[in-house]
Amino acid sequence: MEVRSMSMSNNLTNNQVNGNQYNSGGGTININEQRPQRVDPDSPSPDYKKGLQYFDELKYSKALEHFEKALAEHKERSGAAHVVTAKLYNSIASVCYEMAQYDKAEEYYRDAIIAFGDDSEKNNEVYALFCNNMALVYLRQGKLTEALETNQKALKIRETAIAETYNNIAGICNEQGKYVEALVWYQKALAIRENVLGKEHQDTASTYNDIAVVYLDQADYAKALEWYQKALVIYEKSLGKEHPYTSTTYLNIGRVYLDQANYAKALEWYQKALVICEKILGKEHPDTATTYLNIGRIYLDQANYDKALEWYQKTLHIYEKVLGKEHSYTAVTYNNIARVYLDQGNYEKALEWYQKDLAISEKVLGKEHPSTAATYCSIGRIYLDQGDYDKALEWYHKTLTIEEKILDKGHPSTARTYNNIGLVYLGQGDYDQALEWFHKDLAISEKVFGKEHPDTAKTYNSIGKVYLGQGNYDQALEWFQKALAIRKKVLGKEHPDTAETYGNIGKDYDEQGDDEQALEWYQKALPILEKVYRMDHPHTKLVRERIANVRERLSISARNLE
């Protein structure tokens, strides 16, 4: 699309300037410098091209004749309500303006605006341009009130477009892990939307939702919930409780509780979303499938693998049927099913499903996409869990190559890959290398998330494991305590990550031979794990075995003292 000014070529005297249409001083009349703008069709017809030629030669009558022919031909093919039709009306109006036929120009500009119809929202910059052109006509006609109102309408449209651009920039910053910058841009968008559209507009609610996502990524759950609730109030009021936007917000709120391991609350919100999706969209809609996927994640995190697989299979059935077997959403479901088998220790099945995911990701998204990198990382985890450290390292470095190229070295995903590589070296007993990679992770995590984020706590925990492996128990305990302080504050005292740290502290005392302290910390971990996971979960069984071993040693010690 090309936008051109329909400038007047008549010679003007020096005192015909400055953009004010009327000037009472000196008996002169100033001519407004701003001219109507033409928006040429992307594929102009021969008649339109001929009209342009005549216009450039200042042969306005001939230009008008050919523009009108082009309009008649296009209306016959596409009808009156069409974007190209609107552009042709605009060009004709602009010729009439140059011929000082202002009433005709007004008529054609109005036709242009009407022809735009529902597309005015989609092509708001062009629509605003038409409004500006109409305002110039009103100015020539001396209709100053109408000119002002029309210009203000154009300004509102353009401000809305600017807000959308701010919002888009913010989204990119958030994807890059630049959370502070993202919030700055979202706040700029929000200021415009609240001022221009009002605090109860759906676009304003959308920005509330986007701001909540940033806080969720930063693990500021209270803030995330606050902004999601602001969005929800608007959606429920303006759209009702049975609208897809409302159900999406229910899902988002559920995600806040899921990340806090408050599975009962998460399930409650997911079920509210599911009721709407199944009723409004049907049981085979992709959005319904996405809700199934989220519910499956709850059961996966609780190690209820049969239930997780049940919900993932329901998801997969819809995605494969509606979207096809080579869609990225289908690939995501393959990935989740693989994760179930990975957590169960069924590495062969896990690899089979990850490979299905990878085949789609590489084909549809390409080999240098973040989602493809994430699948490489998942495959690396299989080999890490099996103790095949060389293979794990190979896949983690494939991941890292993409992330450092696409996301840059300071992205949270890059930091997590650094952590994974550190775990490989930790597993090999190469503590110096492990520590080096964990500190690379830590430098990013503390910078991006701050010192009170779960990702930062995870890195503190990893560093503690290095010192524990080296037998440096005091140093290990220091790092475990740093991790514990964050996890208790941010995730809560009954989160499985908090329980993990209790267990690590117990192991620290265990290896020092301080059985009473070890037992105390193991017993802090066990009730949480039994509550969150099933009794036969590997984490639960491990802590129970350690408690049994410590109690046996204490019992032997007690008998020896008798």
What CATH number is associated with residue 104?
Answer: 1.25.40.10
- Nearest alpha-carbon partner for 461 in 431, 521, 501: 501
The β-bridge relationship of strands 2-5 and 37-40 is: antiparallel
Q: Quickly state the pLDDT bin for 562 (edges 50, 70, 90).
A: low
Q: Considering the domain boundaries, does residue 464 fall inside one?
A: no
- Nearest alpha-carbon partner for 31 in 48, 56, 14: 14
pLDDT, tens digit (0-9, with 9 covering 90-100), for 88-110? 999 999 998 888 888 998 999 88
Asked if residues 98 and 86 have their Cβ atoms less than 8 Å apart, the reply is no
Q: Considering the domain boundaries, does residue 222 fall inside one?
A: no
How far apart are the C-alpha atoms of 402 and 418, rounded to whole Å? 13
Domain boundary among 121, 142, 163: 142
Q: Considering the domain boundaries, does residue 237 fall inside one?
A: no
User: Of 111-115, 191-195, 419-423, 525-529, which range is least confident?
Assistant: 111-115
How far apart are the C-alpha atoms of 144 and 130, rounded to whole Å? 17
pLDDT, tens digit (0-9, with 9 covering 90-100), for 320-347? 999 999 998 999 999 999 999 998 889 9
Q: How far is CA 547 from the centre of its chain?
A: 44
Strand, helix or coil for residue 121: coil
Task: Please tell me which residue, 79 or 297, carries the higher pLDDT value.
Answer: 297
How far apart are the C-alpha atoms of 243 and 273, rounded to whole Å? 10
Q: How far is CA 206 from the centre of its chain?
A: 12
**Mean pLDDT, rounded, of the chain:** 87
Q: What is the pLDDT of residue 34?
A: 65
How far apart are the C-alpha atoms of 301 and 297, rounded to whole Å? 6
pLDDT, tens digit (0-9, with 9 covering 90-100), for 212-257? 999 998 888 899 999 999 999 999 999 999 998 999 999 999 999 9
Task: Look up the domain containing 497 and give its range.
Answer: 492-562
Residue 392 pLDDT exceeds 80: yes
Residue 432 pLDDT exceeds 70: yes
pLDDT, tens digit (0-9, with 9 covering 90-100), for 261-305? 788 999 999 999 999 999 988 999 999 999 999 999 999 988 788
DSSP string covering 194-233, please? HHHT-TTSHHHHHHHHHHHHHHHHTT-HHHHHHHHHHHHH
Asked if residues 500 and 516 have their Cβ atoms less than 8 Å apart, the reply is no
CATH no. for residue 513? 1.25.40
Q: Considering the domain boundaries, does residue 538 fall inside one?
A: yes
Q: Considering the domain boundaries, does residue 437 fall inside one?
A: no
Inter-axis angle of helices 144-175 and 202-217, to 10 degrees?
Answer: 20
Q: Where are the alpha helices (DSSP H) in 142-284?
A: 144-175, 179-196, 202-217, 221-238, 244-259, 263-276
Strand, helix or coil for residue 105: helix
Asked if residues 158 and 129 have their Cβ atoms less than 8 Å apart, the reply is no
Residue 18 pLDDT exceeds 50: no
Q: Considering the domain boundaries, does residue 422 fall inside one?
A: no
Out of 132-146, 361-375, 379-393, give the one with best mean pLDDT.
379-393
CB atoms within 10 A of CB 43: 7
Its pTM stands at 0.74
- Nearest alpha-carbon partner for 221 in 189, 188, 258, 248: 258
**Which 8-state DSSP code applies to residue 146?**
H
Q: What is the pLDDT of residue 248?
A: 93
Which two three-digit tokens encode residue 393?
């390292």
Q: How far is CA 414 from the centre of its chain?
A: 18
Q: Considering the domain boundaries, does residue 370 fall inside one?
A: no
Q: How many domains does the chain have?
A: 2
Inter-axis angle of helices 412-428 and 389-406, to 10 degrees?
Answer: 160
Q: Give the angle subtended at the CA of 297 by the CAs of 292 and 299, to the nearest 5°.
A: 100
Domain boundary among 142, 163, 194: 142
Asked if residues 86 and 112 have their Cβ atoms less than 8 Å apart, the reply is yes
Question: Hey, CA dihedral for 417, 419, 425, 426, is it positive or negative?
Answer: negative
pLDDT, tens digit (0-9, with 9 covering 90-100), for 174-212? 888 888 999 999 999 999 999 888 999 998 999 999 999
For residues 218-239, b (16+ Cβ closer than 10 Å) or e, as one string? bbbbebbbebbebbbebbbeee
Domain boundary among 124, 142, 160: 142
Q: Where are the alpha helices (DSSP H) in 361-453?
A: 370-385, 389-406, 412-428, 431-448
Residues 6+ apart with CB under 8 A from 134: 106, 109, 110, 113, 150
Q: What is the pLDDT of residue 29?
A: 43
Question: Hey, CA dihedral for 448, 449, 454, 456, is it positive or negative?
Answer: positive
Task: Please tell me which residue, 232 or 534, carries the higher pLDDT value.
Answer: 232
Q: Considering the domain boundaries, does residue 133 fall inside one?
A: yes
